[in-house]
Chain A
């Protein structure tokens, strides 16, 4: 099991997809910093380029690099079929469940590792140009607290893992790059937009849509954006939202990984 994991890690670092996504990340850091600098230069009383704002915006799974990650994870997974490396591992005597589990681990490391580097670099650029500065409102989320940032990081990590599990599930079943990318990206966007809509329409009637936050891993992003406006510019996670922001992505991680493993075992490998 350790051998197959080490080999998959070795291949990932040498994979073109990994190199491409690293370059995309660096270009995006530079671009977002430049964009923030232009915004700050052209507006009075508003600051975009701060550490805390760069942290929360760069970590979002529904924006730039956050969307690029599942697309590249799909490329990595489809490559396993194209190059026949899934096949090699099974021929070498590994159980299909081990092979799939390794793919989940590699997908998680790929996603969390790269988003961590991207967020750290973005935050660093924000700190260099504008300090961390919690007193300045962040875009979308308004005034942030240390507790909010901590919770936000935790929920984001879980959401990224949920999207990674979903992406691997879709790509190992569809086995087609274009089709898988379309399904994953459209799903992420629909989940985010519906969470905004549901949270907006549920202000005052929250209980009517209560179930949705427990099954949508991106609900907390839409909900906090809406809540920030409702709370007069202060971002918070209420108790129910805090729990559902952990439960929903965990549900996705468990469901798609278990389902993915079963499908992978049952299916013939080309």
Chain B
């Protein structure tokens, strides 16, 4: 498999704090890599390291098989775009001027590309407006328009859904899918896991600077446990019945929801609960979602 990004024991230490701790990351070319982690887990630091904004304390990385210490890396980076934390725009300049400015340092001479980029992000007609008068969502879109100017092969987006309304999120999602179909690889860090779930082809789960797991979406769904979800007011009674039938892999949720993970058939479950005098209000088969999977992975209780 060809990789857009490979890191080998990538480490960044600030004073005594290990912000990134021996991360071995593999982003396949053509993938949409969902980068999931809690606040301060090291997602942004890794993006900053990959973009040359910060230097690794230890370890190495390569972009499209070019080592970060090679002189070739600057040529490779010329076709990589990124939004780190927030789009870097000059607020006193208009949208057109910001794009023209970016075209200049990218060495892009085709003026049509500015109109095309604005059109792609749904900002046509706002070219003459100063960026300081843009809403947060519009700035985010303009930031993405800037990313498209150099015809990138890899785009790194740090929390790109921030500040976008539901329509904006849907449009951005469609744009990412569209660009990915054209061969652009994406690394997207996001807290909105439900959105990542709709587009990611691969995942990297990070916590406290360490990459806990890398997995393809296909394998993730395989790993997401099937469960039978039942709803009954008296959860203690259900627990008692489950223990009686030697079923110990279950979880209690609020409002009388119980999930049973053992490979048990819903009808069998209904039958023995009925025999124990428990009349179930609702029962359905379900899968663990990405958020639950992540919380289980990091030990639960943390906000993703």
Residue A85 at the chain B interface, CB threshold 8 Å: yes
Q: Which residues of B contact A6 (CB under 8 A)?
A: 104
Contact, CB under 8 Å: A90 / B53: yes
Cβ-based interface call for A179 (8 A)? no
In the complex the two chains form, what is the Cα distance from A11 to B86 in whole Å? 20
- Report whether A10 and B100 are in contact in the complex, using a CB–CB cutoff of 8 Å: yes
Determine whether the beta carbon of A83 is less than 8 Å from that of B88.
yes
Query: How long is the Cα–Cα vector from A92 to B55 in the complex, in angstroms?
Result: 16
Which residues of chain A have C-beta atoms less than 8 A from B80's C-beta? 91, 93
Q: A93-B74, A268-B48, A268-B53 known; A7 and B93 CB under 8 Å?
A: no
Q: Verify B51–A91 contact, CB threshold 8 A.
A: yes
A10-B74 contact in complex given A83-B90, A85-B88, A268-B54, C-beta closer than 8 Å: no
Q: Which residues of A contact B54 (CB under 8 A)?
A: 268-269
The interface residues of chain B lying within 8 Å CB-to-CB of A87 are: 53, 84, 88
Report yes or no: A92 in contact with B150, Cβ–Cβ below 8 A. Answer: yes
Name the residue on A nearest B52 (C-beta): A90
Q: Does A239 contact B (CB under 8 A)?
A: no
Which residues of A are found within 8 Å of B93, using beta-carbon distances? 11, 14
How far, in angstroms, from A91 to B48 measured CA to CA in the complex?
A: 9
What total of chain B residues lie within 8 Å of the partner, measured CB to CB? 34
| Residues of chain A with a CB closer than 8 A to B90's CB | 11, 14-15, 79, 83, 85
Chain A interface SS verdict (over half): helix
Query: Which of the residues B75, B89, B105 comes within 8 Å of A89, measured between beta carbons?
Result: B105
Binary contact readout B61-105 vs A (1 if CB under 8 angstroms, 0 otherwise): 000000000000011111111101011111111000100111011
Q: In the complex, A195 Cα to B259 Cα: how many Å?
A: 82
Residue from the list B76, B79, B86 in contact with A84, Cβ < 8 A: B86
Q: How large is the interface on A (under 10, 10 to 19, 20 to 34, 35 or more residues)?
A: 20 to 34
Which chain B positions have C-beta within 8 A of A91?
51-53, 77, 80-82, 84
Would B101 and A11 count as touching, CB distance under 8 A?
A: yes
Contact indicator B88/A95 (Cβ below 8 Å): no
- In residues 213-259 of chain B, which contact A (Cβ within 8 Å)? none
Interface string of A80-109 (1 = CB under 8 A from B): 000111011111111110000000000000
Q: Mark B42-53, 1 if CB is under 8 A from A, else 0.
A: 000000100111
Which of B74, B87, B88 has most A Cβ within 10 Å?
B88
Contact of B105 among A16, A83, A84, A88 (CB under 8 A): A88
A4 touches B52 (CB 8 A): no
Q: Is the CB of A268 within 8 A of B106?
A: no
**A92 and B84 form a contact (CB under 8 A):** no
Cα of A234 to Cα of B79 in the assembled complex, Å: 62
**Is B40 an interface residue, CB under 8 A from the partner?**
no
Q: Quick one: closest A residue to B86, CB to CB?
A: A84
Contacts of B48 in A (CB 8 A): 268
Closest-CB distance, B171 to chain A (whole angstroms): 23
**A3 with B106: CB separation less than 8 A:** yes
In the complex, whether B300 has a CB less than 8 A from a CB of chain A is: no
Which residues in B have some Cβ–Cβ distance to A below 8 Å? 48, 51-55, 74-82, 84, 86-93, 97, 100-102, 104-107, 146, 150
Q: What 5 pairs across the A-B complex have the smallest Cβ distances?
A: A84-B88, A7-B104, A93-B77, A93-B78, A268-B54
- The 8 sampled A-B contact pairs (Cβ below 8 Å) are A7-B105, A11-B90, A83-B88, A84-B88, A87-B84, A87-B88, A93-B75, A268-B55
Residues of A within 8 A of B (CB): 3-4, 6-7, 10-11, 14-16, 79, 83-85, 87-96, 268-270
Q: List 10 additional contacts besides A92-B78, A94-B74, A268-B55; criterion CB under 8 Å.
A: A3-B104, A3-B105, A3-B107, A14-B90, A79-B90, A84-B86, A88-B88, A91-B53, A93-B74, A93-B76
